[in-house]
């Protein structure tokens, strides 16, 4: 499912997954008003500014710099029940992934030992792979 002018493929890009995730932190009380029929909203930003949001456009800095859906657009889409569904936890897939972690860590260790990535980056990757 998509909404507005956006091709559905945009929502699975890493930066957009981050924005979708961040949009869930926008509190309902920060939605100043929403027009369900017109599919528009006014959303209070953390800087105290009120953004004018449609499914295609937002007046925030992020939208104006990257011209793709921002967290406000995703929040509006979620309120209108138009947000693409996020993956649900799959215990079997999680177990398969868990078993692959030592091999993944070894792969990045080889990159570290070859000088391709820094110790900091290697440690961050290991910590991320071992996190819940
Ligand atoms: Zn925005």
How many angstroms separate the alpha carbon of residue 85 from the centre of ligand 1?
Answer: 20
Residue 47 and residue 110 in one domain: no
Q: Is a pLDDT exceeding 70 seen at residue 73?
A: yes
Are residues 116 and 55 part of one domain? no
Residues 23 and 60 in one domain: yes
Distance 103 CA to ligand 1 centre (A): 40
* In a shared domain, residues 30 and 66: yes
Is 104 a member of any domain? Answer: yes
The domain total for the chain is 2
CA of 38 from ligand 1 middle (Å) equals 17
Report how far ligand 1's centroid is from the alpha carbon of 39 (Å). Answer: 14
Half-sphere exposure (CA, 13 Å, Cβ side) for 24? 8
- Residues 72, 14, single domain; the answer is yes
Residues 70 and 17 in one domain: yes
Spacing, Cα 89 to ligand 1 middle (Å): 29
117 with 74, same domain? no
Same domain as 67, residue 110 = no
Contacts for 41-50: CB closer than 8 Å, 24+ residues apart: 41/72, 41/75, 41/76, 41/79, 43/72, 43/75, 43/76, 45/72
DSSP 87: P
**Percent of the chain residues past pLDDT 90, beyond the cut:** 92
Average pLDDT over residues 27-44: 97
Expressed in angstroms and rounded, the spacing between residue 22 Cα and the centre of ligand 1 is 11
Banded model confidence at residue 37, pLDDT cuts 50, 70, 90 = very high
> From CA 115, how far away is CA 68, in angstroms rounded?
35
- The alpha carbon of 66 and the centre of ligand 1 are apart by a number of angstroms equal to 10
In a domain, 110, yes or no: yes
Is 100 among the domain residues?
Answer: yes
What pLDDT score was predicted for residue 87? 87
pLDDT tens digits, one per residue of 95-116: 999 999 999 999 999 999 999 9
Predicted pLDDT at 5: 95
Report the DSSP beta bridge partners of residue 50: 44
Could you tell me the residue range of the domain that residue 112 belongs to?
91-130
């Amino acid at each position: 499912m998509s909404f507005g002018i956006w091709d559905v493929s945009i929502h699975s890009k890493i930066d957009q997954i981050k924005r979708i995730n961040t949009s869930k932190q926008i509190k309902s009380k920060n939605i100043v008003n929403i027009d369900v029929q017109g599919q528009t909203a006014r959303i209070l930003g953390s800087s105290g500014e009120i953004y004018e949001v449609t499914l295609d456009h937002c007046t925030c800095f992020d939208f104006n710099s990257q011209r793709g859906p921002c967290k406000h657009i995703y929040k509006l889409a979620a309120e209108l029940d138009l947000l693409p569904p996020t993956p649900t936890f799959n215990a079997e897939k999680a177990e398969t992934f868990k078993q692959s972690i030592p091999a993944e860590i070894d792969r990045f260790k080889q990159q570290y030992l070859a000088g391709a990535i820094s110790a900091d980056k290697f440690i961050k990757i290991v910590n991320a792979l071992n996190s819940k």
